[in-house]
Structure 1
Amino acid sequence: MGKLSQEYRWLLPSALEASDPGRRSTRDWLVDILVFLVGFGFTLYGTIDLLRPEPSFLVEQAGTPTWLVWTDFACATVAAVGLWFRRTRLLIPLAIYCLVISTFTVAAGFTLLIVLFSIAVHRKFSVLAIFFLGITATNALFPFIRPEHGRDYWWTAAWGTVFLLIACLWGMVVRARRQLVASYRDRAERAEAEQQLRVAQARATERNRIAREMHDVLAHRISLLSLHAGALEIKPNATPDEVTSAAGVIRASAHQALQDLREVIGVLRDDRPEGAPEPPQPTLGALPALAEESRSAGTKVSLDVSVEPDTVPAGTGRTAYRIVQEGLTNARKHAPGAAVRVNVAGTAGDGLVIDIRNPWPISGGASIPGTGTGLIGLTERAALAGGRLSHGRTPQDEFALTAWLPWPT
């Protein structure tokens, strides 16, 4: 059965054909009703006209035997009823049946043209060519079986072939148009699917960016909180002024952490003007404030920026700021109280170099959760910006965090 299906697959309906007549649309029903009325209407009218003593329409067929007229009517009626199944796999059997009766039928003239048109629309060109050659051959036999009075053989055969060609060409035009519409629909669906994929990818990229921003911003603030809370913990005999000062720094850092978190989450909102910068967007110009904030928390920071912040591209400046921020955060985590040296230098064309160094930590207390993830995020951030980042222990017994970022001319 499987082999038989493969062998005759070329006879099966194409993708443009409705698969089930019971699932016809309203338009399909209207078209099928009209097709049946045209096919059977011509059959009925032609039969009645031939049964008259003097036909008014089919004058050339006058004198046709009555038995042949009724035989033609019966066969044409079966063909007209078969038009209801022209959207299914029964189209080929119907076409073969019409091919047989086309040698003598007059009443099924329109039905034959409709079947030929349906094959041109719903079947491959090879099937149409075979059926057209077959019906052209039977059309050549028709004038011998039912000659027309007053017309010679070639006249009858030529006009029959012309009508067959018109039906074929019309069906091929309709099929080509449907294929064009189907290709446009397929392109539109693919474009929509690709657009949805791009939107999903953009959302995923934005979520990753927000996660990095949240880590970079909050890790800095929370490390300040941890530093001052630890100072209160190890100094139970601190003076009221020291406690008040530490509590004030903790409160300010917590307030600033909440403010930074609101700004980071704010990028998810759609009410921002198009093209407006997404907060937070600190650049190299904000490094002095960042260093002063670390100094107020007790970290000894030496900042040396030998470039003009306004000349550095905004994207490069943002990435450099995040690298310095993470470097100061790591120094507070792992080497509390140590002096940190931050150098930012470079020129357009050669790139921007960020170098952060502090003494290698001798010992540490309880580690803060998330240790190591910041450096991984910075490495990825630098790579996305087209740069590189390295970190580790130096021969001078220091921890060095060095990054290079491209600075186009």
Structure 2
Amino acid sequence: MRRRPRQLLYDVLLWIVMSLLAAASGPDPFDDPRRFLLVTGGRVLLLGLAILVGRAWPLAAVVILLPLGPWDFTEGLATASWDLSGGQATSDQAWPLSLLAVKIFPLSPTTPTVIWYAYLTGRRVARVWPAAAVFGVTCLVGVGVVLAQGGQLRLWFTMVSGLLGFYVVPYLLGVLRRRLLQQRERARQSVAAQARLRERTRIAHDMHDSLGHDLALIAVRAAGLEIAPGLTPAQARAAGELRVAAAEATERLRQIVGLLREDIEPAPLAPVDEDVTALVERARDSGMEVTVEIAPGPVPALAHRVVQEGLTNAAKHAPGAWVRVSLTPERIAVRNGPARGGSTALTGGMGLTGLRERVRLAGGTMTAGPVDDGFELVVIPHAGEPDPHDA
């Protein structure tokens, strides 16, 4: 693992600090230089090796630092004493028999380093069995150390607290931290995935509402041009081909929109920057025969979306037909007559389905179906209920 300069600096500083602590707590170099070199030099070497490999392989660092584990019973974080004589100790009773003094959690200057790499093992090593194997070996070493020093009860207490404090507790804290981070990452990915799906849905609605509407109007213009007087057969045929091409493009758009959509709540759409009157005028400019009746009073928030869908359906499925738009505060209706030319649009689009859901969310009701020789779309908006998508 290649270290960055800052990481290298941190590792060197850690090694220097831990080496100074190990040297300060070791044998006196002036009284016993040989023992100082063996004990302190060995500790410094082990610390250097552990820090060298510990960033990439923390479990290997734990193994390297095994000689610096909780094997010294002379110093502890705390000392607990129990009177084993039942309060009847006499002067002739030996101290080990009348009083049990237990060192809880043996300490040494290198203890923080061992704890740190045990924690990193839980944090970074996903597999459990390597850590369990190392801990098993560590327990065997601890048993051997206790038995070698007489196997007294107080030594067993010290060893158990040392093994728990040096290895088990830091490892479990590392595992807990790793799982919390994983859970946070999964939550972040889930939110990102939902955001992507919502954006895809928004794009699908935008394509259907805007581009699909424009393609349908192009087909209407081509149909009007196809039956216009004074055209040569070649020109009429070209206009017919343009009408068919626009209808095929609309169908391909419908297929693409179907791929983009997902079964989630539609994302809010940006308001269309035009009112119903401007929308009708644009349809008239494209060649549609549209009449509109707008009653006095507030215009329902759903009006633009309903009229847009009605005009689009009329242009796709009934080219050349007359269209009548009726708008009141309590009712929105779009009705068209019979088609004057053949429709090239396929059924099964999502426009009316999406509109029906939008009306439902707004608290209204919608009906759509054949009427006489044409088709009618009627929406009764809920009084005082705004459009949930502000469209």
Separation of aligned partners in 2, 1:137 and 1:316: 82
Q: Please, which of 252, 267, 278 is the counterpart of residue 272 of structure 2? A: 278
Letter in 1 for 2:117: S
1:30 lines up with 2:31 in the alignment: no
Letter in 2 for 1:82: L
- CA change 1:117–1:205 in 2 (3 A) is same
Deviations 1:193-241 (A, max 9, x none): 54344334323332232212213444444544555xx22338xxxxxxx
Instruction: Give the drift of 1:400.
Output: 2.1
Deviations 1:320-361 (A, max 9, x none): 36525754786664x8xxxx585859995xx75544334x86
Query: 1:79 matched to which residue of 2?
Result: 46
Instruction: Give the drift of 1:405.
Output: 3.4
- CA change 1:164–1:326 in 2 (3 A) is closer
Separation of aligned partners in 2, 1:112 and 1:325: 76
Q: Secondary structure at the match of 1:384?
A: helix
Instruction: Give the drift of 1:82.
Output: 2.4
Letter in 2 for 1:400: G
User: Is contact 1:382-1:405 (8 Å) kept?
Assistant: no
1:384 lines up with 2:375 in the alignment: no
User: Is contact 2:219-2:315 (8 Å) kept?
Assistant: no
Q: Secondary structure at the match of 1:401?
A: strand
Query: 1:323 matched to which residue of 2?
Result: 310
Separation of aligned partners in 2, 1:122 and 1:50: 35
Query: 1:402 matched to which residue of 2?
Result: 376
User: Is contact 1:344-1:352 (8 Å) kept?
Assistant: yes
- CA change 1:345–1:188 in 2 (3 A) is closer
- CA change 1:216–1:406 in 2 (3 A) is farther
% identical aligned pairs: 14
TM-score by length of 2: 0.53
Letter in 2 for 1:80: L
Instruction: Give the drift of 1:50.
Output: 6.0
Ranges in structure 1 where 5+ consecutive residues have no aligned partner: 1-21, 54-65, 146-152, 235-274
Larger radius of gyration: 1
Q: Secondary structure at the match of 1:408?
A: coil
Ranges in structure 2 where 5+ consecutive residues have no aligned partner: 75-106, 123-127, 233-268, 357-365, 384-391
Q: Secondary structure at the match of 1:403?
A: strand
Identify the structure with the greater helix proportion: 1
Instruction: Give the drift of 1:178.
Output: 6.2
Query: 2:202 matched to which residue of 1?
Result: 202
User: Is contact 1:309-1:317 (8 Å) kept?
Assistant: no
- CA change 1:156–1:44 in 2 (3 A) is farther
- Corresponding residue pairs, total: 298
Aligned-CA RMSD value: 5.3
Letter in 1 for 2:59: L
Query: 2:344 matched to which residue of 1?
Result: 372
> 1:42-61 to 2 correspondence within 5 Å?
42-47=21-26, 49=28, 52=31
User: Is contact 2:333-2:379 (8 Å) kept?
Assistant: yes
TM-score by length of 1: 0.51
